[in-house]
A and B are shown apart, each in its own frame.
Chain A
Amino acid sequence: MTQLAPGVGTEERSGRPQNRALRRLRGRPLALFGAFVIVFFVALAVFAPQLAPYDPAATDFLAVRQAPSAAYPLGTDDVGRDVLSRVIFGARASLMAGVISVVIAMLLGVPLGLVSGFYGGFVDELIMRFTDALLSFPFLILAVALAASLGPSLQNAMIAIGIASAPTFIRLTRGQVLAVKAEEYVQAARALGTGDARIIARHILPNSFTPLLIQATLTIAQAIIAESSLSFLGLGVQPPTPSWGGMLNTAKGFMAQAPWMAVWPGLSIFVTVLAFNLFGDGLRDALDPREDA
């Protein structure tokens, strides 16, 4: 798959790394498909009020559990709400949860990883044991326990997922710091008397950017599943606000009578998460020079 004509190779080496990566990403149909789907769902979320045919919260007791039809392309739910409109609005909760939990995880994980890798010694030992402890909680059980103690809401679900995802970023950042710290140019900078803050900002952070970006994309995928899981359990987005996990929670009670209620929200979660995974995977192949075997 990665066979390149010799001319392409030389051209690649000449460009800036970002451009090079873009060019290599273009040759990966699955990653591009992922990017396309992400853009599609972001557009759904942003333009939900314009795109949704009905008010997602408007109940209609004359149109309860109607099968898909021209008026309701994806059918209606147990209280007569339009499933299509709720799926469109549900994209908001999922994408927001995905992105914000990862931002929280990075805000916690990157500084801790930096300190751990850069200073080493006792601080490192302490942070690593703390990370091991966090990792020893099954992800969802930790998120459930946190969401339960903080109270069920989208905001608290995002905090819980963010905390539960932080260890990955702590370890990743620490590993990057350790690798870069050993480089000669960093040793040289230090010998010249460059301060810690400057070494971190000028040398370590820029080198950690690519792996962090890849990890963030893949973690968004996990966070979207985690949010929909919590909402499915009733610990995330609270009704009547539409969310894919919450819709599945309701749908579970009407499987025999209204199977369409269960199909679309789940399919949306699957396709969105798959898109982030495909894109993240492609990004890793395109950006990670070590993958060139």
Chain B
Amino acid sequence: MLLFIAKRFLTAIPTLIIVTLMVFGIQRMLPGDPALIIAGEQRDPEVIAYIRQQYRLDDPVPVQYLAWLGQVLRGDLGQSIRTNQPVTQLIWQKLPVTVELALLSMLIAILIALPIGVVSAVRKGTVVDYVGTLFALSGLSLPNFWLGIMLILLFSVQLNLLPASGYVEFSRDPLGNLQRMIMPAFVLGSGLAAVLTRQLRSSMLDVLKQDYVRTAQAKGLLRRRVVLRHALRNALIPVITILGLQMGALLSGAVLTEQVFTIPGFGKLVVDSVFNRDYAVVQGVVLFTSAAYIFINLLVDVAYALLNPRIQVGGGA
């Protein structure tokens, strides 16, 4: 087991190195003088000279890369050209908002996916299953920014029930926070719910075929008990892995959801920085998200192995 964990950590290292190369590369491959690009709207020669020096733009590219990597490893992702704030500080400011949004939407997704996934599997081939499949495919096909706009139209413009946009911290106004987060969280959760429903249905179908489920039923246990105690518990294991892999999709969705509901989170930071040509921030955020994704999936894999000692995790997962 320790060997597996060590191995899993070791494979993450080359991936992380390639990620840094790609993030560095995207910026350096841009046509034109990188100093001018980093400077964005700024055309002050002093600023440009400062950037040339800070990013060591007169050195050979590999030296530039290593210097940048050294900074990154020391936790320095550069500075925002617009606000002069360190990028890491911006990230830590915006991250809690998006994390709250993501956690709420996961909760909603699980609440939707559990019953539908289980019932579709238990009643496989019936109308219920059919409707469940259609529901899941619809969830996958719904552009979440449009769902957001439609919900705003219904609940804010027509019914005047919920605020259309904005954000208040939970610590300051818990009710106001939830009122503003419920629509975005539902929007973000709907896509995840679709993915989880499909995964849960198919893993439930697998588990229901297993001998131990048949044994439990033969013992005369109630069907409900067999499904919930014996089958569901085991069927949830692959679903946890999918949840880890869906973190990326959740972040992508957050970019759009935060844009629709004007929530000052991580996703809005990316889009705003792109339009402000604040490349240091874009670069920092992209690097941070992918490193976080690699780390989360590392943890998921380790948790998976710990939960399921029967599984010999070898080459592919």
The 6 closest A-B pairs by CB, nearest first: A266-B146, A140-B252, A274-B141, A133-B18, A273-B141, A138-B251
Q: In the assembly, what is the distance between CA of A139 and CA of B130, in Å? A: 30
Contact assessment for A234 and B275 in the assembled complex, using a CB-CB cutoff below 8 Å:
yes
27 intermolecular pairs with C-beta atoms under 8 Å apart: A1-B125, A1-B130, A132-B15, A132-B294, A133-B16, A136-B248, A136-B294, A137-B286, A137-B289, A139-B252, A144-B255, A145-B270, A145-B283, A146-B26, A148-B282, A149-B27, A149-B30, A232-B143, A232-B259, A234-B275, A248-B149, A252-B149, A255-B153, A263-B150, A270-B138, A277-B140, A281-B137
Contact of B149 among A141, A234, A266 (CB under 8 A): A266
Contact of A30 among B134, B286, B291 (CB under 8 A): B134
The residues of B that contact A245 with a CB separation of less than 8 Å are 143
**Chain A: CB-nearest residue to B256:** A229
**Chain A: CB-nearest residue to B27:** A149
> Counting CB contacts under 8 A, is B39 at the interface?
no
Q: In the assembly, what is the distance between CA of A89 and CA of B164, in Å? A: 30
> Counting CB contacts under 8 A, is B177 at the interface?
no
Contact of A144 among B30, B125, B153, B271 (CB under 8 A): B271
> Counting CB contacts under 8 A, is A26 at the interface?
no
A:174-230 near B, CB below 8 Å: 221, 225, 228-229
Contact assessment for A274 and B145 in the assembled complex, using a CB-CB cutoff below 8 Å:
no
Contact assessment for B286 and A145 in the assembled complex, using a CB-CB cutoff below 8 Å:
yes
> Counting CB contacts under 8 A, is B290 at the interface?
yes
| Residue among B15, B133, B282 facing the most chain A CB atoms (10 A cut-off) | B15
Answer whether A149 and B138 are a contact pair too, CB < 8 Å, given A140-B252, A141-B285, A266-B146: no
Additional 19 contacts, C-beta under 8 A, given A30-B133, A248-B146, A255-B157: A1-B130, A129-B11, A129-B15, A132-B18, A133-B15, A133-B18, A136-B291, A137-B22, A137-B286, A137-B290, A137-B293, A138-B289, A138-B290, A138-B293, A141-B286, A141-B289, A144-B255, A266-B149, A274-B137
> Counting CB contacts under 8 A, is B168 at the interface?
no
> Counting CB contacts under 8 A, is B14 at the interface?
yes
Contact assessment for B153 and A229 in the assembled complex, using a CB-CB cutoff below 8 Å:
no
A:118-153 near B, CB below 8 Å: 129-130, 132-142, 144-146, 148-149
The residues of B that contact A30 with a CB separation of less than 8 Å are 133-134
**Chain A: CB-nearest residue to B148:** A252
Q: How large is the interface on A (under 10, 10 to 19, 20 to 34, 35 or more residues)?
A: 35 or more
**Chain A: CB-nearest residue to B271:** A233
**Chain B: CB-nearest residue to A252:** B149
Contact assessment for A140 and B142 in the assembled complex, using a CB-CB cutoff below 8 Å:
no
The residues of B that contact A137 with a CB separation of less than 8 Å are 19, 22, 248, 286, 289-290, 293
> Counting CB contacts under 8 A, is B260 at the interface?
yes
Q: In the assembly, what is the distance between CA of A263 and CA of B255, in Å? A: 21
Contact assessment for B256 and A232 in the assembled complex, using a CB-CB cutoff below 8 Å:
yes
The residues of A that contact B99 with a CB separation of less than 8 Å are none
Please report whether the interface of chain B is mostly helix, strand, loop or mixed according to DSSP.
Answer: helix
> Counting CB contacts under 8 A, is A269 at the interface?
yes
Contact mask A255-270 → B, CB, 8 Å, 1/0?
Answer: 1100100110110011
Residues of A within 8 A of B (CB): 1, 30, 129-130, 132-142, 144-146, 148-149, 221, 225, 228-229, 232-235, 245, 248, 251-252, 255-256, 259, 262-263, 265-266, 269-270, 273-274, 277-278, 281
The residues of A that contact B157 with a CB separation of less than 8 Å are 255-256, 259
Residues of B within 8 A of A (CB): 11, 14-16, 18-19, 22, 26-27, 29-30, 125, 130, 133-134, 137-138, 140-143, 145-146, 149-150, 152-153, 157, 164, 247-249, 251-253, 255-256, 259-260, 270-271, 274-275, 282-283, 285-286, 289-291, 293-294, 297
Contact assessment for B18 and A248 in the assembled complex, using a CB-CB cutoff below 8 Å:
no
Answer whether A269 and B153 are a contact pair too, CB < 8 Å, given A129-B15, A142-B286: no
Contact assessment for A141 and B251 in the assembled complex, using a CB-CB cutoff below 8 Å:
yes
Contact of A262 among B149, B164, B289 (CB under 8 A): B149
The residues of A that contact B251 with a CB separation of less than 8 Å are 138, 140-141
Please report whether the interface of chain A is mostly helix, strand, loop or mixed according to DSSP.
Answer: helix
Contact of B143 among A148, A252, A269 (CB under 8 A): A269
The residues of A that contact B133 with a CB separation of less than 8 Å are 30
Contact assessment for B150 and A266 in the assembled complex, using a CB-CB cutoff below 8 Å:
yes
The residues of B that contact A277 with a CB separation of less than 8 Å are 137, 140-141
Contact of B18 among A129, A228, A269, A278 (CB under 8 A): A129
Contact assessment for A273 and B26 in the assembled complex, using a CB-CB cutoff below 8 Å:
no
Answer whether A141 and B270 are a contact pair too, CB < 8 Å, given A262-B149, A278-B137: yes
Q: In the assembly, what is the distance between CA of A197 and CA of B212, in Å? A: 48
Closest approach, in angstroms, between the C-beta of A227 and any C-beta of chain B?
Answer: 10
The residues of A that contact B293 with a CB separation of less than 8 Å are 136-138
**Chain B: CB-nearest residue to A171:** B316
Answer whether A262 and B153 are a contact pair too, CB < 8 Å, given A138-B252, A277-B141: yes
The residues of B that contact A132 with a CB separation of less than 8 Å are 11, 15, 18, 294
